[in-house]
Amino acid sequence: MKGSGKLWGGRFTGDANEAFARFNSSFAVDRRLMDADIRASIAHANALVGAGVLTANEAEKISAALDAIAAAEISADSEDVHSYIEHQLVEAVGELGKKLHTGRSRNDQVATAFRLWLRDEADAITRTLKRTQTALIAAAERHIDAVLPGYTHLQRAQPVLWAHWCLAYFEMFDRDIERFADARKRINVLPLGSAALAGTSFNIDREAVAKELGFDAASRNSLDAVSDRDFAAEFAAACSLVMVHLSRLAEDLILYASQEFGFVEMSDAVSTGSSLMPQKKNPDALELIRGKAGRVFGDNLALLSVMKGLPLAYNKDMQEDKEAVFDAADTTRRCVEIAAIVLDNLTVNEDRARQAASTGYLNATELADHLVGRGMPFRDAHDAVGKLVLMGIENGRELHELSVEEMRTVVPDIDDSVYEALSLQATLASKSSIGGTSPGRVRAELEAAKKKLS
């Protein structure tokens, strides 16, 4: 590939050192902004007609050539995507191409292209998150009656519906979607027309450019517009929280798929084997998701670290912004996609999960609540049930396996009605207030979730 010319050669007499030129180049990374930069360049050409710099006919010629550049294979190396496009434009339309850069700088140009790219990406990640929410709903409905132990401190705590677990992650992804929608508002502001840092002296109708490119507004301050990347940091932060959520989903399922838990099985489609141990079936997909979370946090921190303490306005440090944010976006999107595939390929071992939810005194709180219903203060009930649990542990029995006589040694006025309260069904059904895991409540939440998605 032949190198294309620099955009700034006039005041130089010497050539750049080759190693430095390579070091300075961002084309390998920012070529991904090609389409976005060309969209913005076409809008700029149109604005130059209004400013009296180009005729309508000239702007049309430039736009057509830019479209052709977007459609063609990359045919040369360059300092960055902006230099590449301008060089190709001059090759295509000659002297006229040299007029396009009137009233703009690569500083407002790159900020504009980056925002256009991130706007599309926020929408794409949102679509992918919705796809994963759909997979969660499907997994819940495939096993609508499944129950598993809920945990705190990774100790069995209280039984919950499998569908309740699924909807917990649905909620997290819902907030993630909101975060991208919110970040999108601040992404969707037009920097173009800020020029290098001070604004442009040409009569460019910035609001018309904003409208043409689908931005909500034109930026209000040129120094700020060319030099802040807070919109990208917000995007990366939203990615980080998606990855926190995905890593927890991954960890839950990795545990549940282990022989020790045995609550779920992942199909062969999303598992791998061991090169040495023939019996192994490993949850690599989930482990990779869990691992890649760290990588996205790194991207997020990299961007913040690049921006910290930079003087206004543009500094070349900021060229480092894109690699981190591209990686955060790509990694997050892929992980969300894979999570959906894992969920589609997941089976709950309902017997085993129900068995686990029925043993280990998960109904102890229920018993205390039952005693409260009979007039005992909760603190006393908690203490009494603690004693009954101890009795059970010493005799190797669950609470419902203790006789009424045995229970009466701790709670004198207890009667047979206690067994109904101790049943798994009753334990679940009683959690019927908003947000609880009762089957009725969860079914209603599933319907609400489906409605939200459609």
**Which residues lie near ligand ARG (CB under 6 A)?**
26, 30, 80, 82, 106-107, 110, 314, 316, 318-319
99, 54 contact by CB (below 8 A):
yes
Catalytic residue among 153, 275, 403, 454: 153
CB-CB neighbours of 94 under 10 Å: 11
Judged by beta carbon, residue 176 or residue 321, the one nearer ligand ARG is 321
C-alpha Rg value of the chain to the nearest Å: 30
Structure tokens of 198?
A: 């001070």
Q: Is the peptide bond between 217 and the residue preceding it cis, with omega within 30 degrees of 0?
A: no
Compute the least distance from the CB of residue 58 to ligand ARG, in Å.
25
For residues 227 and 235, give the distance between their C-alpha atoms in angstroms, rounded to a whole number.
17
Residue 153 annotated among the catalytic residues of the structure: yes
Q: Spot the catalytic one: 75, 267, 274, 417.
A: 274
End-to-end CA gap in the chain:
49
Judging by beta carbons within 10 Å of its beta carbon (0-12, 13-18, 19+), is residue 274 exposed, middle or buried? exposed
Contact 310, 227 (CB under 8 A): yes
CB 207 within 8 A of CB 218: yes
Cα(453)–Cα(205) distance, integer angstroms: 39
Rounded to whole angstroms, the Cα distance separating 134 from 155 reads: 30
Residue whose CB is less far from ligand ARG, 81 or 422? 81
- Would you say 106 or 206 has its CB closer to ligand ARG? 106
Our CB check for ligand ARG shows the closer of 58 and 80 to be 80
Nearer to ligand ARG, 134 or 219 (CB): 219
Residue 82 or 164 with smaller CB distance to ligand ARG: 82
Q: Is 219 a catalytic residue?
A: no
Q: Minimum distance from CB of 76 to ligand ARG (Å)? A: 16
Q: In angstroms, give the least distance from the CB of 83 to ligand ARG.
A: 8
Based on CB atoms, which residue is closest to ligand ARG, 26 or 112? 26
Question: Nearest approach, Cβ of 318 to ligand ARG (angstroms)?
Answer: 5
For 74-171, strand residue ranges (E) read 76-77, 147-152, 155-161
Q: In whole angstroms, give the CA distance from residue 390 to residue 382.
A: 12
How open is the CA angle 135-137-140, to the nearest 5 degrees? 110
The whole-angstrom distance between residue 113's C-alpha and the CA centroid of its chain comes to 21
Q: What is the C-alpha separation between 424 and 356, in angstroms, rounded?
A: 11
Neighbouring CB atoms inside 10 A of 143's CB total 20
Cα–Cα dist 28/374, whole Å: 72
Query: Which residues are CB-contacts of 308 (< 8 A; sequence separation ≥ 6)?
Result: none
**Strand 155-161, strand 147-152: pairing:** antiparallel
Considering the complex, state which of residue 227 and residue 349 has its C-beta at the smaller distance from ligand ARG.
Answer: 227
CA nearest to 200, candidates 99, 98, 103:
103
**Rounded to the nearest whole angstrom, what is the least distance from the CB of residue 80 to ligand ARG in the complex?**
4
CB 206 within 8 A of CB 190: yes
- Catalytic sites, residue numbers: 153, 274
